[in-house]
Structure 1
Amino acid sequence: MNNVKGVVNVKKWLLAIGFVFLAAIGLVACSGGSSAGGDNFKVGMAFTGSKTDGGWCQTAYEGLMKIKSQLGAEVIFNENTQPSDYEKILRDYAKEDCQVVIGHGYEFTDGAKIVAEEFPNVKFIVTSTDIGNGKNLGSIQNSYQSGFLQGIFAANMSDVGVVAGVGGQEIPPIKNDILGYDAGAKYAKADVQVLTAMTGSFDDANKLKEQSLSLINQGADIVMVDADHAGRGGYEAAKEKGHYAIGSIAPEYDAYKDSLIACANIDMATAILQTVELVKEGKFEGKNYLKGVEDGIVTFTYNPALEDKVKPVAKEAVEKAVKEIKDGKLDVMKYIKL
C-alpha cells in the first residue's frame, strides 16, 4: 500500500514539474513576442502598388527582402492596397505579432497615427511623410533634394530654356519633388521657364504621356516625371518627340535606352533597412528620419546608352551641387518656394 502511495506521489510531483516547465515556456514565448531583438522578429509592409512596378513599390519590396536576409526577419506584405484598407492592413499586421509595421507611402499617414495608438508595443513606420509621436510611430522622408538635382540637370540640358515636370497623384511627396525641380532649374538658370502638371494617377501611363506631350508642344525640350508606373508614359512621350526624359526613384535604363537619359535615384531599400535596423537594436526614436544626398540615399545617375549625349556642363553642375550639399554649403530648402 505504501508503495502504491509512493508511486502516486511521484506521478503528482512529475506532473507538477511539467506544469511549471510549460508555464515557463509560455512566459518566454510571450516576452519574445514583444521583443524586437528576439528570434521571431517579424516585419509587415503594405504597398499602394505592385512590387514589380519598376519604381516606388519595387524599391521598398527590395528593402523588405534585405530585412529578411540581413536581419533574419520573417516578413509579410500586401500589394496594391486599396485606400479603404490602409488602416485595416496596418492593424491586421499588428495583430499578427509584427514587431514592425511599415506603410510605404504618404497615403498610410492617417491610418498609422490611429493604429499606433492602439498598439503601443509595435513600431510603425510610414515613408514619404514627416510624422512621429516620439514613441512608436516614425517616418522616412527624402525632402526636396532629388527634385532639385533633376531641375539643375534639366536647365543645363535644355537647348531652348524651357523644361517640363509631370507628377502623378497630387500628394505632398510628389508636390515636393515638383517644387524641388522648379527651384533647382531656376537655381541653375534664373531665366529658365518651368512648365509643370499633375495627372492625378500613378497607374495611367497614357494620361501621363498625353500630359507630357502637351508640355513638350508648349515648348519644353526635356521632361522630368515622378509618377511611379505611370512615369513610363513620359519616357514614351520624350521618345516620340525626339527629346529626353528624367526619371525618379529607380531607373529603367534597359527598357528606355532612347529617351530616359538620367534619373534621381532614391534608395528606399537601404533607407527602410536602416530604419528597421534601429528598431531591432532598440534605438528607434519615433521621429522623422530625413534621408538624402548626405546619407547616400539620394543619388543621380545616367543611362549608359545615352551618357555620351549628356552635356558636360549639366553633369558638372549636378556633381557640384551634390558635393556642396554633402559639405553643408548648399541648403536646398533656402531655394524652395512653398
Structure 2
Amino acid sequence: MVSRRNIIQGIAFSAFLMTSPLGALAQEALTVGILIPGSKSDKGWMESSYNGLVAAQEKYGDKIKVQMIENISYGDMEQALTQLASGNSMVIGVGGQTQAAVLKIAQRFPDIKFSIVGGNAGVELPNVAGYDVKQAEIAFVAGAAAAMMSKTGTVSYVGGMEIPSIVNAGKEFGNGAKYINPEIKYIESYTGDFDDVAKSKEATLAAIAQGADIHYHILNLGLRGMEQAATEKGTHIIGSYTNYCGTDPLYPAYSITGVGYQVGYTIDQAVAETWVAGYKPFGLAMGAEASDIAVCDPAPGMMEKLDAIMDDIKSGKISVLEG
C-alpha cells in the first residue's frame, strides 16, 4: 500500500501549488501528477527531477497544477500511478524503475498522457513517451575526466540496481577512463539498491582499499554512503545529474544528466499541445542542458580534451553502449 504519509505529502504539495501566487489554479490548467520514487533531496536523480518540476511551476504559474508522490517502494508504484492517473491529465514517472508500472497502468487510462523520465526502448503504447537520458554517453566522459584527475591510477564506480542501463553506464565509465589511460585500474560494483547507504559505503571503502581515489556512481540516497567513505579516506567523487561546482570540495566534477530538463521538456510539450508518445533519446545530442560535464577546477587543456571526446561520441567516432 502507498503509505498514508506519502499520499498526504503528495496532496499537501499540490495544495501548496494551488494556493501559492505562482500556483493559483486557472480553469484550464494542465494537471500533472509526478511519481518520484526516491527522495527529492538525494543530491542525485530524484533531486534533479524535483528541481525540474519546481522550475516548470515557476515558469507556468497558474497554467499547471501539480500533484506529487515521492519516496515509495517498488511494490507501491502501481497504486501510486493509479492515484495520479485518476486525477491528472499527464503523469510523469521518474526513473527507469517506474517503466514497467507505467506501461501497465497506462493501458487502463488510455486518455491520460504518461511520460517516463529515464525510459528506454520498449515504450510502444500510444499514450506513453519514454525519454532516454543516455547515461552511458556522459559516463564515458566522466570516466575520461576521472582518469585525468586520478593520482593513484585507480578509479571506481558504484551502481544501484544491476539493470542494463546502470551496468552499461558503469562499463562506459571504465571505457572512458581507459581511453585516457589504458593502464588504469577500474573497479566496478553494485549494491542492488539505489538507496542503501551502508552497502554503498562498504563498496566504496572496498574500492579505496584497492587504490581508488576518484569515484563515480548511479545512486540515489545511497550516495550518502559513498560520501562518508570518501570523506573518511580523503578521496573524491564525480557527482551526477546537476552542476554544483563550488559547493563541496568532495566533488571536483559533475556529470550533468538532464533529468530535471526532461521533466521540464515533457511539461513544455503538454502545455504547448505538442506532446507525442514514443521513445525519444536525449543525451549529448540534445545539448548541454541534457548532457554535459562540469569540471570545477580543470587543469590546462582538460576541458578541450573532454569537449573533443563529447564531439566524437556525437559524431559516432566513439561508440558507446545504450543506456
TM-score bracket, shorter-length normalisation: 0.7 to 0.9
Closer, same or farther in 2 for the Cα pair 1:314/1:201, shift >3 Å?
farther
User: Which amino acid in structure 1 is aligned with residue 71 of structure 2?
Assistant: N
Runs of 4+ in 1 over 6 A off after TM superposition: none
2:57 corresponds to: 68
User: How far apart, CA to CA, are the structure 1 residues paired with 2:245 and 2:219?
Assistant: 16
Q: Which residue of 2 aligns with 1:164?
A: 156
Asked whether the equivalents of residues 187 and 335 of structure 1 are also in contact (C-alpha less than 8 Å), the reply is no
What is the rounded CA distance, in whole Å, between the counterparts of 2:27 and 2:267 in structure 1? 14
Larger Rg: 1
**What SS does the aligned partner of 1:45 have?**
strand
Determine the structure 2 residue equivalent to 1:82. 73
CA distance in 2, matches of 1:337, 1:137: 20
Instruction: Name the residue aligned to 1:225.
Output: 217
Deviation at 1:274, TM superposition (A): 1.2
Task: Identify the residue that residue 40 of structure 1 maps to in structure 2.
Answer: 29
State, as a whole percentage, how many aligned pairs show the same letter: 27
2:295 counterpart of 1:315:
no
CA contact (8 A) 2:44 2:219 kept: no
Letter paired with 1:44: G
Change over 3 Å in CA distance of 1:314–1:224 after alignment to 2: farther
**CA distance in structure 1 between the partners assigned to 2:183 and 2:58 by the alignment:** 49
Alignment of 1:183-332 (within 5 A): 183-251=175-243, 253=245, 256-257=248-249, 259-295=250-286, 296=288, 297-303=290-296, 307=297, 310-325=298-313, 328-332=314-318
Are the counterparts in 2 of residues 152 and 317 from structure 1 also a CA contact under 8 Å?
Answer: no
| Distance (Å, rounded) in 1 between the aligned partners of 2:43 and 2:73 | 19
Q: Is the 8 A contact 1:185 1:192 kept in 2?
A: yes
Pair 198,255 (structure 1): closer, same or farther in 2 beyond 3 Å: farther
Contact 2:178/2:184, CA 8 A, preserved across alignment: yes
Closer, same or farther in 2 for the Cα pair 1:126/1:57, shift >3 Å? same
Q: Is the 8 A contact 1:226 1:247 kept in 2?
A: no
Amino acid at match of 2:115: I
Alignment partner, residue 102 of structure 2: 112
Structure 2 counterpart SS, 1:81:
coil
Q: Report the equivalent of 1:153.
A: 145
- How many Å separate the matches in 1 of 2:202 and 2:302? 27
CA distance 1:111–1:230, shift in 2 (3 Å): same
> Separation in 2 of the partners of 1:252 and 1:201?
24
User: What is the root-mean-square deviation in Å for CA atoms of aligned residues?
Assistant: 2.4
Residue 100 in 1 paired to residue 93 in 2? Answer: no
TM-score, normalising length from structure 1? 0.79
- The structural deviation recorded for 1:39 is 1.3
Shift of 1:330: 4.1
Counterpart contact for 2:39–2:71, Cα < 8 Å:
yes
**How many angstroms does 1:331 deviate by?**
5.0
Find 1:141's aligned residue among 132, 150, 153: 132
Q: Would you say 1:55 and 2:44 are equivalent positions?
A: yes
SS at match of 1:174: helix
The SS at the match of 1:300 is strand
CA distance in 1, matches of 2:180, 2:322: 15
Q: Which has the larger displacement, 106-115 or 314-323?
A: 314-323
Instruction: Read off the aligned partner of 1:113 and give its amino acid letter.
Output: L
- How far residue 252 of structure 1 moved from its aligned partner, in angstroms, is 5.2
Distance 1:329 1:272 in 2: 26
Which runs of no fewer than 5 residues in structure 1 stay unpaired? 1-36
2-structure distance, mates of 1:134, 1:51: 28
How far residue 175 of structure 1 moved from its aligned partner, in angstroms, is 1.9
Query: Structure 1 residues 233, 214: closer, same or farther in 2, change over 3 A?
Result: same
Deviation at 1:123, TM superposition (A): 0.5
Residue in 1 that maps onto 2:13: none
SS at match of 1:260: coil
CA distance in 2, matches of 1:271, 1:231: 22
How far apart, in 1, do the equivalents of 2:44 and 2:214 lie? 20
Tell me if the contact between 1:106 and 1:129 (Cα under 8 Å) persists in the aligned partners: yes
